[in-house]
Amino acid sequence: MSNIRNFKKDIQFVISELVVECLTYDLLFPKKHETELSALLSDLVSLQDRLFLGINQAKRDKNIPIGQAMHTLRREFNLQVSAIIERLAKLGENL
């Protein structure tokens, strides 16, 4: 179970760091890309909620091995975070 606890901490840490990046960008460049930043923040919150829900469901579901479920969730997490980082980087290019 400590693996699950560490994964939840990793999710929380990465999501909070990306939220800080979005807010910093907004403070440095006010009135630029407000809708895109709002969409990014919304996506970050929904990603965190989806992943935590998936982890909690995987712990309860006895049909799928917990290791397989965690592997799938980690892969989804990595792909989604990479996509959000790319979106944030594109905002920085359009200055």
The model's pLDDT over 16-68, given as tens digits with 9 standing for 90+, comes to 999 999 999 989 888 888 889 999 999 999 999 999 999 999 888 888 888 89
pLDDT band at 3 (very low <50, low <70, confident <90, very high): confident
Structure confidence at residue 46 (pLDDT): 96
What is 11-79 written as a DSSP string? HHHHHHHHHHHHHHHHHHSTTSSHHHHHHHHHHHHHHHHHHHHHHHHHHH-SSS-HHHHHHHHHHHHHH
pLDDT band at 2 (very low <50, low <70, confident <90, very high): low
